[in-house]
Amino acid sequence: MATATGVYHTSYEADLALRKTRAEWIRLGLIVLLVVSAPFLLNPFWLTVANQIGIAIIGAVGLNILVGHTGLISLGHGAFLGVGAYTSAILVTRLEAPTLVAIGVAVAVTTVIGTFFGLPSLRLKGLYLAMATLAAQFILLFAFRNWDFITGGTDAIVVASPEIFGFTLRTDFHWYWVIFGVAALVVFAARNLFRTGLGRAFHAVRDQDIAAAVMGIHVGRQKLLAFAISSGLVGLAGAMTAHYRTIVTWERFTLDVSVLYLAMIIVGGLGSVAGAVYGATFMTVLPAAIQQLARNVRDTIPMLGREIPAIQLIVFGLVIVLFLLFEPRGLDRTWQRVKDYFRLWPFRY
């Protein structure tokens, strides 16, 4: 219950709720309205970008569970994305599995492989764990490229547009609803996870692993669980990319992608579900915006048009450095500050 003098609760249910004031509910309503109306308002280019954002949200929330919430690092998540994509694509094309089954199996396979490559975390921390997961990235990429008999090697796998419950998902407009439906579920599930004992245990391992152990948390098991959930979600994102783009090639799962996803959660806010959403949105919109901008000025300044990839890279690097310097806790923190500013608005100081 929100009053002029503060927020009061008369039950533990109310105290535990995610949204406690009317303003918070109105904000949620506005976001829902925005998401629902977006596909009717966006042009084809930006609708494609929106779908990429949705998939990135699923992956970023997943990676953040490992990096931001549990304090482990992985440079292998680009390849885990590939495991999900390849598994689902292969099941659909070779075994003619129904799409939903294929995606389900892909999530399971990525969970197992991600957990396996998380085993070094039982012994290693920080930079050493980064190196171990980097090895996972290279091993998996090697498999994608060279195990012709499974992955088709360097040739792309082409997948047909999927049919779900008798409905063929062909256009970006169709996909939008599927992608954002799944993304909303993932965000909801992740938010829930971190208000239960299991989620708290991840934070405990991150903050103080010795104290966590002494409080009865099996630290090793908790770390592997973080790898499992995290790579499962990334596998889901990967499988959805495969069917959405209808094409799977190894180039989409290189180290760059691992780094891009890490950038998303750093820019958005480590250890915050909302932060992962902001970061995924920001880091997907940014290159698209640069591309659009450069295209618009191509005729006046031709050099810009030619150098789009270079400019994208430079801005990308600059953004990460600036965030690390000036807002290391990411967009999530920026948003909190904006909210506080308006909450105290008449009394600025």
Partner 1 sequence: MSRAYRHNLNGSSLEPGTRQLEIEAVALRFGGVQALQNVSLDVCQGEIHAIIGPNGAGKTSLLNCISGLYRPQEGHIRLHRSDGPPHDLTRTRPSRVARLGVARAFQNIELFKHMTVLDNLMLGRHVHMKHSVWRSFLYYGPARRQEIAERQLVEEVIDFLEIQAVRHAHVGALPYGVQKRVEVGRALCLQPAVLLLDEPMAGMNTEEKEDMARFILDVNALAGVTVVLIEHDMEVVMDISERVSVLDFGRKITTGPPADVKTHPQVIEAYLGEEVS
Q: Which residues bind partner 1 (CB under 8 A)?
A: 12-13, 16, 189, 192-193, 195-201, 203-204, 206-208, 210-219, 225, 229, 271
267-304 burial by CB neighbour count: b if 16+ within 10 A, else e?
bbbbbbbbbbbbbbbbbbebbbebbeebeeeeeeeeeb
| Of 216, 211, 255, residue with least CA distance to 82 | 255
Q: Which residue blocks in the chain are alpha helix, DSSP H? A: 12-16, 22-41, 44-64, 77-94, 99-118, 126-146, 148-151, 172-193, 197-207, 209-214, 219-245, 255-268, 273-296, 302-306, 308-326, 330-343
Nearer Cβ to partner 1 (98/199): 199
What is the smallest separation between the CB atom of 212 and partner 1, expressed in angstroms? 8
| Of 154, 137, 138, residue with least CA distance to 146 | 154
Nearer Cβ to partner 1 (42/119): 119
Nearer Cβ to partner 1 (94/195): 195
Nearer Cβ to partner 1 (219/315): 219
What is the smallest separation between the CB atom of 181 and partner 1, expressed in angstroms? 16
Cβ neighbours around 143 below 10 Å, total: 16
What is the smallest separation between the CB atom of 74 and partner 1, expressed in angstroms? 19
| Of 338, 121, 90, 105, residue with least CA distance to 222 | 121
Nearer Cβ to partner 1 (7/95): 7
What is the smallest separation between the CB atom of 95 and partner 1, expressed in angstroms? 27
- 330 sits in the region (left: phi over 0; alpha: psi -120 to 50; else beta) called left
What is the smallest separation between the CB atom of 13 and partner 1, expressed in angstroms? 7
What is the smallest separation between the CB atom of 141 and partner 1, expressed in angstroms? 29
Nearer Cβ to partner 1 (139/189): 189
